[in-house]
Amino acid sequence: MNIIKSPEEMQCEALELKRAGKSIGFVPTMGFLHEGHLSLMRLARERCDVLVVSIFVNPTQFGPNEDLDAYPRDFERDEALCAEVGVDLVFYPKPEDMYAADASVWIDEESLSGVLCGESRPRHFRGVCTVVAKLFNLVLPDLAVFGEKDAQQLRIIERMVRDLNFPVKIVRGPIVREEDGLAMSSRNKYLTEEQRKNALGLKKSLVQVCELVGQGERNVSNLRSAMTQLIDDIPEAVIDYIEFVDDQSLHPVDSIEFRTLVALAVKVGSTRLIDNIVVSV
């Protein structure tokens, strides 16, 4: 397994692989890897000749009061996990090598990014789209795997690839959960033992929605109220949002008629967690 730190070297290596007729699979990460990341790598591994994983904590997708400096990092552990999964190349750049000091070009998505996480993190998806576009230009992947846990991000990247004609196939990776149902996240490390137990309420609220829809409830106001009541009873839990949106357009819906993405973001203590499920009738 090779480790490349220079963007120029990464692009040169990718061009050589292309000339040799090799297909490139890509999984972008911010490191501190867990089984969720590894499941994405395995999906890519099955579909390509050369598997590239990037490890880059992207500063442009963090707001001024978010956890950029505290975001967990452990490159040696990440490197070992990548090797176990069969990664061929790890791209591990520095922020100053990815962004010029006077960088002034950004990618803004204007339809899907203003709701859900984008409402409380207004510049977040500008940073996500820009760094993913840069990574695509450096790695030159034939396919890239993104997880369903970041449902809004996934749909925005799919839209960016479509609208900007990136020659990249986006593969969706299912949410991976701990045995108790908590969605795997690098930020779970921040939770105390008690907070981690409390965080299970996110999944319980989604299960509750599925049960209510299965019993015939279609009214989103009633469904949101049930979720809100459950989460409000959780110690240290503060709701950022609970939203019911069309699975593709992300437009809010009032009733469950078609495929609906149920997404929520909740702070448990100081840790912001997200989860989602798709329901249909």
Annotated catalytic sites, by residue? 37
Q: How far apart are CA 43 and CA 41, in angstroms?
A: 5
Phi, psi of 85 (to 5 degrees): -80, -15
**Contact status, residue 98 vs residue 56, Cβ threshold 8 Å:** yes
Please state whether beta strands 271-279 and 260-268 pair in parallel, antiparallel, or not at all (unpaired).
antiparallel
Q: How far apart are CA 198 and CA 202, in angstroms?
A: 9
Sheet holding 24-29, edge to edge: 2-4, 89-91, 50-55, 24-29, 143-147, 169-173
The residue count for the chain: 281
Cα–Cα distances in Å, from 204 out to 11, 108, 230? 44, 34, 8
User: Which DSSP state fits 281?
Assistant: -
Q: How far apart are CA 44 and CA 25, in angstroms?
A: 5
CB burial class (10 A; 0-12, 13-18, 19+) of residue 202? buried
Phi, psi of 79 (to 5 degrees): -60, -45
Q: How far apart are CA 166 and CA 160, in angstroms?
A: 8
Q: Specify which residues 177 forms β-bridges with.
A: 183
